[in-house]
Amino acid sequence: MVARPPTESVVPAAPSLLTPFAEPAAGWTRRHLLDVDTFSRGEIAQVLDTAGAMAEVLSRKVARTPALNGVTIFNLFYEASTRTRSSFELAGKILGADVINVSGSGSSIEKGESLIETLNTIAAVGADAVVMRHGASGAPWLAARTIPGHIINAGDGQHAHPTQALLDAFVLREEFGDLTGRQIVIVGDILHSRVARSNIWSLTTLGAQVTLVAPRPLLPAALAPGASQPEHPLGLPNVRVCADLDDAIVGADAVMALRIQNERLRGKLLPSTAEYARRYQITAERMSQAAPHAIVMHPGPMNEGVEIAVDVAHSPQSRIEAQVSAGLAVRMAILFLLIRGSA
Ligand code: CP
């Protein structure tokens, strides 16, 4: 028997730790994720497929892959967050990146440093990518013009929350496969909801029919019922506005409740929480009118007992925890595609 050369390892190589992320992200050309309004169906599918591969990494005994070794990611959060911030932090770490958190409190933002100066500082320290949440709509677009790194919008004002929309699409695709013709009801504070705005773009691009339900004060003026109401709000043929949740929910495949954003309402627009709950809360009785296979979603954090009944939030129909779990895989996918793509 020929002796094994001493240089040859008897320990098998571990390609599974690297694959499928050892190569650059083929076919991905976007540098930033600012919103999903210009995403094609193919691009959304690529994110969701990549997230599926990331979910496989997460299922491994050692859930780590060195796809972003040597990359520095800053989480720059001017507004509170639990899900988005923690999942982006974990996503970066699982992919082997260095992740640094900067928030309003405890940083020089507290001393009055401007957004642009903070961005320039982060860039000078060596940020390859900045995950950014800011109260001002459009702030990530300013960042993308200001510094050279990749910018990921983790929620800007009342405008967009693209990773929430993508994780919602991931959960819906897991549930239903192709979303063409699926009836999705989004109910609640549409006026202040960046989640609703981004979901409208992604869900309609994927072929779903979206029904928006809200009391009139919580609808954007462009969507409020009236003489000037366009036949298709936002120019999108598969979006409609319905004043009555009991009408809208009949036969729905998925019902997404939005949080009443008390911090943005400041006591205005919604004089009575009890009246709101009576007309717009997702209850078991209302869900009985949806399709038998219907699921309930909520981006969180929830006001249980206001926009969603406690028993519904924790029922077998609820996919609220699945949404949080999907957030990790989807954010890993976004970091990988943007940073290892060709742009
Ligand atoms: N859905 C969402 O953005 O939650 P967080 O504010 O906790 O990040």
Average pLDDT in the 66-85 region?
96
Average pLDDT in the 123-129 region?
97
Do 130 and 38 sit in the same domain of this protein?
A: yes
Do 188 and 333 sit in the same domain of this protein?
A: no
Do 278 and 167 sit in the same domain of this protein?
A: yes
Do 118 and 215 sit in the same domain of this protein?
A: no
* pLDDT at 237 (0 to 100): 83
C-alpha 16 to ligand 1 mean position (Å): 32
C-alpha 302 to ligand 1 mean position (Å): 10
Evaluate if residue 228 carries a pLDDT over 80: no
Atom of ligand 1 nearest to the CA of 327: 1
C-alpha 59 to ligand 1 mean position (Å): 23
CB 283 near ligand 1, within 6 Å = no
CB 138 near ligand 1, within 6 Å = no
Evaluate whether residue 61 is within a structural domain: yes
C-alpha 324 to ligand 1 mean position (Å): 9
* pLDDT at 193 (0 to 100): 95
Evaluate if residue 265 carries a pLDDT over 90: no
Average pLDDT in the 96-125 region?
94
Evaluate whether residue 78 is within a structural domain: yes
Do 138 and 44 sit in the same domain of this protein?
A: yes
Atom of ligand 1 nearest to the CA of 79: 6
Range(s) of the domain holding residue 248: 163-228+235-320
Q: Is 200 exposed, middle or buried (0-12, 13-18, 19+ CB in 10 A)?
A: buried
Interval 127-175: pLDDT, tens: 999 999 999 999 999 999 999 999 999 999 999 999 999 999 999 999 9
Interval 267-286: pLDDT, tens: 677 768 899 999 999 999 99
Do 106 and 250 sit in the same domain of this protein?
A: no
Evaluate whether residue 14 is within a structural domain: no
C-alpha 300 to ligand 1 mean position (Å): 6
Do 156 and 168 sit in the same domain of this protein?
A: no
CB 75 near ligand 1, within 6 Å = no
- Give the residue, by CA position, lying nearest to ligand 1 atom 5: 81
Evaluate whether residue 83 is within a structural domain: yes
Evaluate whether residue 311 is within a structural domain: yes
CB 84 near ligand 1, within 6 Å = yes
Atom of ligand 1 nearest to the CA of 84: 8
Evaluate if residue 188 carries a pLDDT over 90: yes
The pick from 84, 85, 134, 303 for probing ligand 1's pocket by mutation, whose C-beta has the most ligand atoms within 8 angstroms, reads 84
Evaluate whether residue 1 is within a structural domain: no
pTM, full prediction: 0.92
Do 172 and 307 sit in the same domain of this protein?
A: yes
C-alpha 31 to ligand 1 mean position (Å): 23
Do 104 and 184 sit in the same domain of this protein?
A: no
Angle between helices 162-176 and 194-205 (to 10 degrees): 50
Evaluate whether residue 22 is within a structural domain: no
Number of domains into which the chain is organized = 2
Mean pLDDT over the full length of the chain: 90
Give the 3-state DSSP-derived string for the chain, with helices as H, strands as E and coil as C. CCCCCCCCCCCCCCHHHHCCCCCCCCCCCCCCECCCCCCCHHHHHHHHHHHHHHHHHHHCCCCCCCCCCCCEEEEEECCCCCHHHHHHHHHHHHCCCEEEEEECCCCCCCCCCCHHHHHHHHHHHCCCEEEEEECCCCHHHHHHHHCCCEEEEEEECCCECHHHHHHHHHHHHHHHCCCCCCEEEEECCCCCCHHHHHHHHHHHHCCCEEEEECCHHHCCHHHCCCCCCCCCHHHCCCEEEECCHHHHCCCCCEEEECCCCHHHHCCCCCCCHHHHHHHHCECHHHHCCCCCCCEEECCCCCCECCCECHHHHCCCCECHHHHHHHHHHHHHHHHHHHHHCCC
* pLDDT at 273 (0 to 100): 87
Do 152 and 177 sit in the same domain of this protein?
A: no
Evaluate whether residue 17 is within a structural domain: no
CATH code for position 251 = 3.40.50.1370
Do 65 and 97 sit in the same domain of this protein?
A: yes
Do 157 and 184 sit in the same domain of this protein?
A: no
